[in-house]
């Protein structure tokens, strides 16, 4: 069973950097529909769950082979690429196995910042040092440990949470660790740094609750769900579109390139938002959902195998039945056509397209039927 905790709608570990840098984003994000999970996020959840159970029991990692979360299974490849390097990293951090540790602890700020909470992957104490460790199993953006506001959030919250205060008793320094297989990144700091972070967070949360909380563009925008409706982002895009190429000098081009990733993320999130709205029967002016290009598949593989064998064609290309296209190519030598009733064209899903696209719009029959049935209950 997944041990993923609910996320704070105000501020949590993964959003601390954004809220501190852009308090106004809190109100904007609250207006956005929830994002659907992805296979990458589901894989991360599965790996976090396995690490938590491994550190909380006497089981061997192979005992978890085949465990599943949202259709993602723990394979030997995932163990070799992710779990094993993470366990080796833990051995590097605590070679003598003297660290007292606790996994998956829910921590919060109590009355200081109500509704601000999160879940630590590992919190521990080794000698005079408090340790806060986070597993990062994604292969994308490298995550640094130095100044990491997510881990500072967890540390500050854990220090104020009764069940995790033991990790701070008698310690003199704080170490933040990111384990992103195969890399281990470590940063040792003092508790004055943690105190300052807490002050910055409290100040930002108070400002976020004001009607005209400030907005700011920066690296913290990368994972912000409100990019498509953020006036700072939309204004930056408008300005960029109005600049003529001939008026740009090399310095200006360099500055714009520095913001390219941010603009590209904004465009990606804007398209995802439009797709989600249309998928939920909300109109988006000038756009619609259309079926993706259909791919041909066998109606019934057993019928296809019988037909191909009858015409001297080997139906298998290990480990699967050959495709209709490959079958047609093989049959061409004997001038035999592939019967239409053996093949069907199936779309792999929907995609966003302008109204001018000649393809017909997708009809959300399932959702309309569900809505109709709910009225009958």
Question: For the segment 41-74, what is each residue's pLDDT rounded down to a tens digit?
Answer: 899 999 999 999 999 888 898 899 999 999 999 9
Please compute the mean of the pLDDT values over residues 130-139 and round it to a whole number.
93
Indicate whether 168 pLDDT > 70: yes
295's enclosing H/E stretch is strand 294-298
Please write the tens of the pLDDT for every residue from 92-109. 899 888 999 999 999 999
Q: pLDDT band at residue 1, thresholds of 50, 70 and 90? A: very low
Average pLDDT value for the chain = 85
Indicate whether 7 pLDDT > 90: no
DSSP per-residue letters across 32-80: SPPPPP-HHHHHHHHHHHHHHHHHTSS--GGGGTT-EETTEE--HHHII
For 16-208, CATH number out of 3.30.1560, 3.90.320, 3.30.70, 1.10.3210 equals 3.90.320
Q: Can you name the residues that pair with 289 across neighbouring β-strands?
A: 352
How far is the C-alpha of 165 from the C-alpha of 100, rounded, in Å? 13
How far is the C-alpha of 335 from the C-alpha of 328, rounded, in Å? 10
Please write the tens of the pLDDT for every residue from 288-319. 888 776 677 888 888 888 888 888 888 877 56
Indicate whether 3 pLDDT > 50: no
Q: For residue 4, what pLDDT is reported?
A: 45
Q: For residue 157, what pLDDT is reported?
A: 97
Report whether 178 contacts 185 (CB < 8 A).
Answer: yes
Please compute the mean of the pLDDT values over residues 204-230 and round it to a whole number.
89
User: Which range scores top for mean pLDDT: 164-178, 348-362, 363-377?
Assistant: 164-178
Q: For residue 293, what pLDDT is reported?
A: 67
Please compute the mean of the pLDDT values over residues 212-228 and round it to a whole number.
88
Higher local confidence (pLDDT), 24 or 281: 24
Q: For residue 132, what pLDDT is reported?
A: 97
Pinpoint the residues of the chain covered by CATH 3.90.320. Answer: 16-208
3-class secondary structure, 338: coil
User: Which range scores top for mean pLDDT: 172-186, 243-257, 341-355?
Assistant: 172-186
Q: Between vectors from CA 129 to CA 126 and to CA 132, what angle results, nearest 5°?
A: 85
Q: For residue 368, what pLDDT is reported?
A: 47
Q: For residue 238, what pLDDT is reported?
A: 62
Cis peptide before 182 (omega within 30 of 0): yes
Q: pLDDT band at residue 253, thresholds of 50, 70 and 90? A: low
Please give the model's pTM, rounded to 2 decimal places: 0.67
Indicate whether 163 pLDDT > 80: yes
């Amino acid at each position: 069973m997944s041990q993923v905790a609910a996320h704070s709608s105000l501020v949590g570990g993964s959003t601390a950097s954004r809220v501190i840098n852009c308090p106004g984003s809190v109100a904007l994000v609250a207006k956005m529909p929830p994002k659907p999970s992805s296979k990458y996020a589901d894989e991360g959840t599965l790996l976090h769950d396995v690490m938590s159970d491994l550190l909380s029991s006497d089981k061997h990692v192979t005992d978890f082979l085949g465990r599943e979360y949202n259709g993602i299974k723990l394979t030997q490849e995932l163990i070799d690429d992710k779990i094993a390097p993470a366990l080796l990293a833990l051995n590097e951090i605590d070679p003598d196995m003297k660290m007292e540790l606790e996994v998956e602890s829910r921590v919060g700020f109590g009355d200081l910042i109500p509704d601000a909470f999160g879940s630590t992957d590992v919190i521990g104490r080794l000698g005079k040092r408090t340790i806060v460790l986070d597993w990062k199993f994604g292969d994308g953006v490298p995550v640094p440990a130095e100044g990491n506001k997510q881990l500072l959030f967890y540390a500050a919250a854990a220090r104020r949470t009764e069940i995790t205060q033991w990790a701070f008793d008698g310690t003199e320094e704080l170490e933040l660790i990111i384990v992103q297989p195969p890399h281990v990144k470590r940063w040792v700091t003092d508790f004055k740094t943690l105190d300052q972070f807490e002050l910055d967070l409290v100040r930002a949360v108070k400002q976020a609750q004001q009607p005209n909380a400030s907005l700011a563009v920066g690296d913290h925008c990368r994972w912000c769900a409100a990019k498509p409706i953020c006036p700072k982002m939309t204004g930056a895009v408008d300005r960029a579109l109005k600049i003529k190429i001939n008026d740009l000098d090399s310095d200006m081009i360099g500055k714009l390139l520095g913001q390219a990733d941010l603009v590209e993320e904004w465009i990606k999130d804007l398209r995802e938002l439009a797709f989600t709205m249309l998928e939920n029967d909300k109109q988006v002016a000038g756009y619609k959902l259309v079926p993706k290009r259909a791919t041909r598949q066998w109606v019934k593989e057993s019928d296809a195998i019988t037909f191909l064998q009858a015409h001297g064609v080997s139906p298998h290309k290990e480990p699967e039945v050959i495709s209709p296209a490959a079958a047609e190519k093989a049959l061409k030598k004997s001038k035999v056509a592939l019967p239409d009733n053996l093949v069907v064209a199936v779309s792999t899903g929907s995609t966003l397209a302008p109204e001018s696209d000649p393809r017909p719009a997708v009809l959300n029959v399932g959702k309309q039927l569900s809505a109709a049935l709910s009225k009958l209950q």
